[in-house]
Amino acid sequence: MKIVVLVKYVPEPTASWSFSPDLTLNRDAVEGRLSELDEYAVEQAVRLKEGGLDAEIVYLCVGPAKATDALRKALAIGGDSAVHVTDPAIHGSCAIGTSLVLAKALEKVGYDLVLTGFSSTDGEMSVVPTMVADRLGINTATFAGELSIDGTTVTIRRDGDTATEEASTSLPALVSVTDRTPEARYPAFKAIMASKKKPIATMSLADIGVDASSVGTAGATTKVVSLAPAPAREAGTIVNDEGEGAAQLAEFLAGRGFI
């Protein structure tokens, strides 16, 4: 069985971000890392294999040149190889463009099970997994807090606000996992060194048969029209309770429409 895990290279939240003239984030210029939420999907794939599943684990990332750092980190946690789709024309892609590139790459690489995080830690739209599955025409089970495979059946547990559901579907399928699945292990030094020898294939848009005009800024369905730094936080209000504290607190909340 081939498990392909979609892993995104995201900007470090603490890094200084720079923007291109078209107001899109300049991902080549900002320090990045493997999206923390995708580490859960990586760990799930490795656990499925460790649990006895006869599986080959491949990581797939669409991102700038430096995104190989994210693939090396995933390979240090476990798995066999990686595919990096990179092309200058991808810059500025919206979710629809990103899902097209991922789906075309998956068709090229082959898959039985596609694992993803439930959201990236930068765009945070939580739409790419379903878009990819729709393009491929395969079954989808999203927001898995637990996952198991029996033959060609994949079963997930999804924890909602009011209920816990169990859902099953048949392979080939795409499953997105949440941070209720176990955290990724910290790779040992030996595993980090071994990951450096694992193969990473690089593909361009031409390699996967995607027309450059359908992705990137040219093909994007969203456009950044303006950007500005977030306003500095205002100082809070301190209420000294000298017998009137509760009334002052109620007045504060009422003045802001909270009560």
Residue ranges in contact with ligand FAD by CB under 6 A: 6-8, 24-25, 27, 35, 37-38, 61-63, 92-95, 98, 102, 116-117, 119-120, 122-129, 222, 224
Instruction: Tell me which long-range contacts 192-198 makes (C-beta under 8 A, separation of at least 24).
Output: 192/76, 194/76, 195/72, 195/73, 195/75, 195/76, 196/72, 198/75, 198/79, 198/80, 198/81, 198/82
Taking the C-alpha atoms of residue 226 and residue 108, their distance in angstroms, rounded to an integer, is 37
Closer to ligand FAD by Cβ: residue 18 or 153: 18
Q: What single DSSP character describes residue 121?
A: S
CB of 257 to ligand FAD, least distance (A): 28
CB of 158 to ligand FAD, least distance (A): 16
DSSP-derived 3-state class of residue 84 = strand
What sections of 137-233 are H helices per DSSP? 189-195, 205-208, 216-219
Closer to ligand FAD by Cβ: residue 91 or 157: 91
Residue 187: is the preceding peptide bond cis (ω within 30°)? no
CB of 171 to ligand FAD, least distance (A): 18
Closer to ligand FAD by Cβ: residue 7 or 244: 7
CB of 23 to ligand FAD, least distance (A): 6
CB-based closest residue to ligand FAD: 123
Closer to ligand FAD by Cβ: residue 187 or 219: 219
